[in-house]
Amino acid sequence: MKIRNKIIIAGAASLIALAAVAQATRTYSVRALPPAVVKTVPVAGSTDVDPGLKEITVTFSKDMQDGSWSIPQTTPSENFPEIPAGAKIHYQPDKRTCVMPVKLESGRTYVVWFNHGQYQNFRDTARLSAVPYMLVFETKK
């Protein structure tokens, strides 16, 4: 019984050592890590956004997969921008900037998530999901 315990302990120690080596030799690169939001229009935290703004744009750190996005509504409807009938979310030719057509109202606080919870469809061309990002802004009264 004592030998079995020693073998189990030695095996566990070996696994821990292998995990430490794997962690230490992990390579980090832009290609290997998920895309992140680098810019939004309007700017996050703005309190004076023109309610006449027709598009929200979000720019990512990497080329993104076209036709794939997640913008879940996680707040009451008055805090989520209306998307005009017939309008389509799309990427600009740079493949990094996603355009969300909107109709905003004055004096409102808007909350827009780009990827959130189970909704992870903003993906780069290697299919890595973007880091979730919450955009919050207020329109002028």
Quick: pLDDT tens for 108-117: 999 999 999 9
pTM: 0.80
Residue 6 confidence (pLDDT): 44
The CATH number fitting domain 34-141, selected from 3.20.20.70, 3.40.190.10, 2.60.40.1220, 1.20.1560.10: 2.60.40.1220
Quick: pLDDT tens for 76-97: 999 999 999 999 999 999 999 9
Cα separation, 109 vs 93, in Å, equals: 30
Residue 81 confidence (pLDDT): 97
Per-domain residue ranges of the chain: 34-141
Phi-psi label, residue 45: left if phi above 0, alpha if psi -120 to 50, beta otherwise: left
Cα separation, 33 vs 57, in Å, equals: 22
Residue 27 confidence (pLDDT): 77
DSSP conformation class of 86: T
Q: By CB neighbour count within 10 A (0-12 exposed, 13-18 middle, 19+ buried), where does 101 fall?
A: middle
Q: Residue 31 corresponds to which tokens in the numbers above? A: 């290609």
Cα separation, 41 vs 50, in Å, equals: 11
Quick: pLDDT tens for 12-68: 555 554 455 445 547 789 989 999 999 999 999 999 999 999 999 999 999 999 999
